[in-house]
Amino acid sequence: MSNFPWLTVAGAIPLVGAVVIGMTPGRSAPGSPADRRARDLLVKQIALVTSLVTLGIIIAMAVQYNTGGPRFQFTQTYQWIPQFGVHYAVGVDGIALVLILMSVVLMPVVVLASWNDVEGGSNPAGEPPARRSVKSYFAMMLVLETMMIGVFAATDVFLFYVFFEAMLIPMYFMIGSFGVGQRQYAAVKFLLYSLLGGLLMLVAVIALYVYSTHGGHQGTFLFTQLSHLSLSPTVQKWLFLGFFIAFAIKAPLWPFHTWLPDAATAAQPGAAVLLVGVLDKVGTFGMLRYCLDLFPSGAHFFTPLIIVLSVIGVLYGAVVAIGQRDIKRLIAYTSVSHMGLITLGIFVMTSQGQTGATLYMVNHAFATGALFIIAGFMISRRRSTLISDYGGVQSVAPILAGTFLIAGLASLALPGLSTFVSEFLVLVGTFTRYEAAAILATAGIILAAIYILWMYQRTMTGPIKPEVAKMPDLKGRELWAVAPLIALIIVLGVYPKPIIDIINPAVTKTLVEAHSTNPVPPHPAPAAATAGTTSDVRHRARASHVAQAQAASKRVSVTLRQRSSA
């Protein structure tokens, strides 16, 4: 099965499911209300089965991944537009694999959680969406899944750009046509921000192609060839900015974040999970894959600025979240804080930081996804997004309150839950190189405890409000939607080793391509009685430190020369 086109098949299955849904009779077809409900139910079942089949294909692929094998596995490369060196090229390293796994795990959960959203199930005051086509909503959800698999699997930069931009279309309609409140404003803002970043990235992509033709070579967009392209430091700085700004908007990193709270608040809870859980990770994935590998000199030049922006994002997002009155908006601002921490882990250029950042992408998706989904269940019952309209929920709906508490504690990185491991790795990796940034970022943990626990206190504890007194607890379908995420939060908090083992080799190769090494820790000096004077001890310690640093740099240089000659 080594030659089986796993990634192509996994990406095609949701697209086929969307086509099948499109061929089913719509609500406008003749029939009674019962017939229309039956047709809507069939559409939802098709979407759920399709997402589960896709999950099974990706799991079958993942178990065959060899952590000691080549960097990119399950590769396929076919000419697409030969005149311009464009290929249909896909493959995964450890980082892309875990992000694809994250995406396909979330999709059936989102389908179950969104079962009644189109009919107004999660809308405040029962407000109906602008369009009530169940077919369109779930078909776009499956199309988006194809785009998510494609954007993480692409190993041709032009193909990546196509998926990067194309995934905006289904999300735009999911927000603007099926959202609530200021849905059209939020959708247009989301689209304009993303298109601006995409335009800058397109200029950089074209420039990369032009530079690949220098020396009489045939132009190419293949990542594996572009990573060995020799670019001057000045060119790298400009091209780095073209890619980085697009990814910073997508992430979103402060101060490019302002579209996210509006979009996440207006979107249905399921769409918000995909927006914050997956689409945002495309930005941080792009930083790790493209910004560092293709433009190492530019990345090192802008690292101090990005570290500052990341720390500001961590603190700003947390402080603003504390003052929010809307549940969904509060969760959105927590994501701004978390994405700042992920970006910090990427650009500290240490193996602990980048491994922690990649693991954080996965854990944040599950924890924040659970928060959005459970918040959606609360809104569908109380018909309000305001925190002040809740109180005493844990007395009438203890399972709902308990799952909300676990997801909230994961968001504040409680030890024993998944995000603690990733956050700890990011902070350790940061501290070894940027102590001040690590100390400031650690303050975000304290602020996270404030906004999560205060939100839980105001919504779940205290006297039972009359409007909450008859709130039902989670039902079967809702439990099936939440239970996998809660289980993953606990399991990955206790035993994250399988995921870390997949991520580590890819991170090591990324550091080599980025011309970076881990800081060499100082060795403890031997006792004066056996090692001579204090000055001698210090001299030998410094000499040892320098020797190890030179050896590490030499290993990186040898690896780079071998790759260049190959």
User: Rg of the Cα trace of the chain?
Assistant: 24
DSSP element (H, E) containing 74: strand 73-81
- Residues 6 or more apart whose Cβ sits within 8 Å of residue 224: 72, 155
Q: Which two tokens stand for residue 336?
A: 């701004």
Claim to verify: residue 182 and residue 72 sit in the same structural domain: yes
**What is d(CA 550, CA 529) in angstroms, rounded to the nearest whole number?**
30
Claim to verify: residue 474 and residue 561 sit in the same structural domain: no
Claim to verify: residue 481 and residue 560 sit in the same structural domain: no
Longest dimension (CA), the chain: 96
- Residue at a domain's end among 475, 497, 519: 497
In a domain, 54, yes or no: yes
Apex 273 CA angle, 268 and 279, nearest 5:
115
pLDDT at 381: 85
- Residues 6 or more apart whose Cβ sits within 8 Å of residue 31: 25, 39
Claim to verify: residue 166 and residue 99 sit in the same structural domain: yes
pLDDT at 532: 42
pLDDT at 39: 81
pLDDT at 314: 92
Residue 258 carries which DSSP code? T
In a domain, 484, yes or no: yes
In a domain, 342, yes or no: yes
Claim to verify: residue 560 and residue 465 sit in the same structural domain: no
- Residues 6 or more apart whose Cβ sits within 8 Å of residue 250: 164, 194, 197, 279, 280, 282, 283, 286
Claim to verify: residue 561 and residue 482 sit in the same structural domain: no
**What is d(CA 233, CA 212) in angstroms, rounded to the nearest whole number?**
16
Which amino acid, residue 134?
Answer: V
**What is d(CA 232, CA 244) in angstroms, rounded to the nearest whole number?**
18
Number of domains, the chain: 2
pLDDT at 31: 64
pLDDT at 130: 46
Claim to verify: residue 170 and residue 308 sit in the same structural domain: yes
Claim to verify: residue 540 and residue 491 sit in the same structural domain: no
Torsion of CA 53, 56, 61, 65, to 10 degrees: 150
CB 386 within 8 Å of CB 325: yes
pLDDT at 29: 64
In a domain, 535, yes or no: yes
pLDDT at 26: 66
Q: Which two tokens stand for residue 458?
A: 């105001």
- Residues 6 or more apart whose Cβ sits within 8 Å of residue 12: 146
In a domain, 1, yes or no: no
In a domain, 104, yes or no: yes
Domain region containing 228: 6-497
Claim to verify: residue 434 and residue 548 sit in the same structural domain: no
Return per-residue pLDDT of the chain as tens, 566 residues. Answer: 458 899 999 999 999 999 999 888 766 666 677 777 788 888 899 999 999 999 999 999 999 999 888 889 999 999 888 888 888 999 999 999 999 999 999 999 999 998 887 776 556 655 554 456 888 889 999 999 999 999 999 999 999 999 999 999 999 998 988 888 788 898 899 999 999 988 999 999 999 888 888 766 788 888 888 888 888 889 999 999 999 999 999 988 988 888 889 898 888 888 999 998 888 899 999 999 999 988 989 999 999 999 999 999 999 999 999 988 889 999 999 999 999 999 999 999 888 999 999 999 999 999 999 999 999 998 888 888 888 888 888 888 899 999 999 999 998 888 889 889 999 999 999 998 888 999 999 888 888 888 899 889 988 888 888 888 888 888 988 899 999 999 999 999 999 999 999 999 988 888 888 777 777 665 554 444 334 433 343 344 344 443 444 444 444 444 434 444 44
Claim to verify: residue 408 and residue 292 sit in the same structural domain: yes
pLDDT at 125: 54
Claim to verify: residue 92 and residue 204 sit in the same structural domain: yes
pLDDT at 123: 61
- Residue at a domain's end among 497, 520, 543: 497
pLDDT at 516: 74
pTM, two decimals, is: 0.85
pLDDT in tens, 425-462: 999 999 988 889 999 998 888 888 888 998 899 888 88
Q: Which two tokens stand for residue 418?
A: 């998944």
In a domain, 508, yes or no: no
pLDDT at 28: 63
CB 376 within 8 Å of CB 122: yes
pLDDT at 491: 93
- Residue at a domain's end among 497, 517, 552: 497
CB 517 within 8 Å of CB 556: yes
Claim to verify: residue 441 and residue 373 sit in the same structural domain: yes
pLDDT at 542: 41
Q: In which residue are the tokens 């499109």 written?
A: 22
In a domain, 503, yes or no: no
